């Protein structure tokens, strides 16, 4: 049975927000979009966790979305991060993204204020009713402090515009429950869990590692979809050390920004309170990239 957000199946890449001297580097951002278009990526996701959205001002947030939509020019889908722990703020950003030409909105569960399940449902209902673009429910309790329970996601699935779930709970049981209860398109929010999630009915990934090796992640997904499980497992094994470092050496997006810098694709600049890798961590990352064959 085709899932609701099928147009977003495959590889989506959570873009970093490049900075130069403290300002958003729009040229480098647009080069990232071109890089993903050439790789054959399905969709790019600006201003999510990887895009350092918590430290962008609202005008910057809007500027990044507009720059990515402009660079995409219809060649690749754009799923813009528009979540907030204030429903009014999320409404403003989501409406803005739709007007700017985004194809979908990636909306993280309200963080810090820990709403009840009813509050979660009403938050997403308000957003789904305010726009015509599909919404991806981004569930990452490790960051937000509160899980959106599968039963709540099943209620959300009754709303026409809720089409996808970015599943970043790390729980295959929770993912299985959502896949069993709904026709939502479930995408992995953890690179290293892409293959396990595909195996239970997931349809792709919103990837961090895809910033540097999108082609390899596409190969993994394609191998699985074509029924070549052994080939998919080979890609999983090959990608695993890279996936582990991107999320294990330090908080995302610190390692991916360091990797992009080492590969000459970014300044590596972060915004406080994010700080660069220590020399030891950078040496480990350099070694992983060299072993992988990209450095």
Instruction: For the beta carbon of residue 247, count every other beta carbon within 10 angstroms.
Output: 17
166 is catalytic: yes
Annotated active-site residue in 77, 146, 166, 257: 166
Distance separating the N- and C-terminal Cα atoms of the chain: 42
> Angle at the Cα of 91 (from 107 to 83), degrees rounded to 5?
25
Of 238, 239, 214, 289, which is closest to residue 259 (Cα–Cα)? 289
Q: How far is 218 from 208, CA to CA, in rounded Å?
A: 13
Cα 197 to Cα 258: distance, rounded to the nearest angstrom: 28
- Among 138, 237, 257, 261, which one carries the catalytic annotation? 138
Report the candidate in 95, 109, 35, 20 with the shortest Cα–Cα distance to residue 68.
35
Burial (Cβ within 10 Å: 0-12, 13-18, ≥19) of residue 171: middle
Within 13 Å, how many C-alpha atoms sit on residue 257's CB side? 24
64-90: burial string, b at 16+ Cβ within 10 Å, e else: bbbbbbebbeeebbbbbbbbbbebeeb
Find how far residue 281's CA is from the centre of its chain.
24
Is the omega angle on the peptide bond into residue 96 within 30 degrees of 0, that is, cis? no
Instruction: Tell me the catalytic residues.
Output: 138, 166
């Amino acid at each position: 049975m085709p899932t609701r957000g099928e147009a977003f199946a495959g590889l989506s890449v959570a873009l970093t927000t490049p900075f130069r001297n403290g300002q958003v580097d729009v040229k480098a951002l647009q080069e990232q979009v071109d890089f993903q278009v050439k790789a054959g990526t399905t969709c790019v996701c600006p201003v999510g966790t990887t895009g350092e959205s918590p430290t962008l001002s609202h005008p910057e947030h809007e500027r990044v979305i507009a720059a990515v939509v402009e660079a995409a020019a219809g060649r690749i889908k754009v799923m813009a991060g528009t979540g907030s722990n204030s429903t009014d703020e999320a409404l403003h950003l989501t409406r803005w993204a739709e007007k700017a030409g985004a194809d979908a909105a990636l909306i993280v569960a309200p963080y810090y204020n820990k709403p009840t399940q009813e509050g979660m449902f009403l938050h997403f209902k308000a957003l789904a009713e305010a726009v015509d673009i599909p919404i991806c429910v981004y569930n990452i309790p490790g960051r937000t402090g509160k899980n959106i329970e599968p039963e709540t996601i099943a209620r959300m699935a009754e709303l026409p515009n809720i089409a996808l779930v970015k599943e970043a709970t790390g729980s295959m049981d929770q993912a299985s429950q959502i896949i069993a209860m709904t026709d939502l398109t479930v995408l992995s929010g953890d690179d290293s869990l892409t293959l396990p999630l595909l195996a239970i009915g997931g349809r792709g990934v919103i990837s961090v590692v895809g910033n540097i090796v999108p082609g390899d992640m596409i190969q993994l997904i394609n191998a699985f979809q074509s029924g070549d499980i052994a080939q998919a497992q080979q890609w999983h094994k090959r990608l695993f050390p890279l996936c582990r470092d991107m999320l294990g050496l330090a908080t995302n997006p610190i390692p991916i920004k360091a990797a992009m810098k080492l590969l000459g694709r970014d300044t590596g600049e972060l915004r406080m309170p994010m700080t660069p890798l220590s020399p030891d961590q950078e040496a480990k990352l350099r070694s992983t990239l060299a072993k992988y064959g990209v450095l």
